[in-house]
Homo-oligomer: A and B are copies of this chain.
């Protein structure tokens, strides 16, 4: 166990000892977790895009199954250059917007800041590592069902836990580091369940087992998870994609357990009717995260000698639907 006090001091918190947290991308994910942190005493600085003017006047409203709450006056920013340097930068943009990060992060991240990336897909932490070669980067895999339903208005429907792991800077898994434990403690203080993982790569591939099967299929077949599970043809396809992802992970050196697909299927069957994030993006005419959720793992597996053919069919279908949806 790390020494909390000395560690807090070691990372040199902002004046007055109040931890400063930046939320880059205040949407369904960043808005929800950021608001929880703010309502539990952390000093949170929120970066907004389209909602900036509205939120300055009206604050942030979180409708949640755990109890509604609002932040009437928040530190809202319309551009990153107005933001202060923060101890923790939570990146919760859609991964389709990650090309903006190189012009955002230098405004909020200082030498000892920790970046916590709450995104789907593969290779997202590595993108940030290119921008911030020496930063501590933690990947968070959210099991969260929340939507942005209006300006500054987030609806948290269910779940909310995060699996976290630190990006390794060498070939070996980073393991459970002090920084990882520290970030987990911060989130836990805001009432968020956090599970720590030793191996970010493995955790990412495990998440892909669910994401690559349900996300694409829910868009292509216009179906919620329960609809996909209740039809033998779509259930079979979901299972085939899952097995493909497990084979892809193994080709890349991540030993996912034999029964992992069956576990995911069983867990999803027990869930309420659920619209995966890509389906919500599609319905809101947002660009789909095809690159990070599909092409990167497909390409990575291919580089390691395994072709994810079924997933590639889904990816191309999604590209067609995405282009036509937004044109």
Contacts and interface: CB of A to CB of B under 8 A. Distances in A.
Interface of A: 220-221, 223, 227-228, 231-234, 236-237, 309-310, 313-314, 316-317, 319-321, 323-324
Given A227-B324, A236-B316, 17 more contacts: A220-B220, A220-B221, A220-B317, A221-B320, A221-B321, A228-B320, A231-B320, A231-B324, A233-B316, A233-B317, A233-B319, A233-B323, A234-B316, A234-B317, A237-B313, A237-B320, A309-B310
Contacts of A309: 309-310
21 contacts: A220-B220, A221-B320, A221-B321, A223-B320, A223-B324, A228-B320, A231-B320, A231-B323, A232-B319, A233-B316, A233-B317, A233-B320, A234-B316, A234-B317, A234-B320, A236-B316, A237-B313, A237-B317, A309-B310, A310-B313, A313-B313
Nearest to A319: B233
A236 B227 CA distance: 29
A317 B221 contact: yes
A305 to B, nearest CB: 17
Contacts of A320: 221, 223, 228, 231, 233-234, 237
Given A220-B220, A309-B309, A237 B316 contact: yes
The 7 tightest CB contacts between A and B, nearest first, are A233-B319, A234-B320, A233-B316, A313-B313, A233-B320, A237-B316, A231-B320
A310 to B, nearest CB: 5
A234 B316 CA distance: 7
A317 B321 CA distance: 15
Contacts of A313: 237, 310, 313-314
Q: Taking each of A223, A232, A320, A324, which has the highest tally of chain B beta carbons within 10 Å of its own beta carbon? A: A320
A221 B319 CA distance: 11
A231 B316 CA distance: 10
Contacts of A314: 313
Contacts of A231: 319-320, 323-324
A264 B236 CA distance: 31
A223 B321 CA distance: 10
Q: Taking each of A228, A316, A319, A323, which has the highest tally of chain B beta carbons within 10 Å of its own beta carbon? A: A316
A318 to B, nearest CB: 8
Nearest to A318: B233
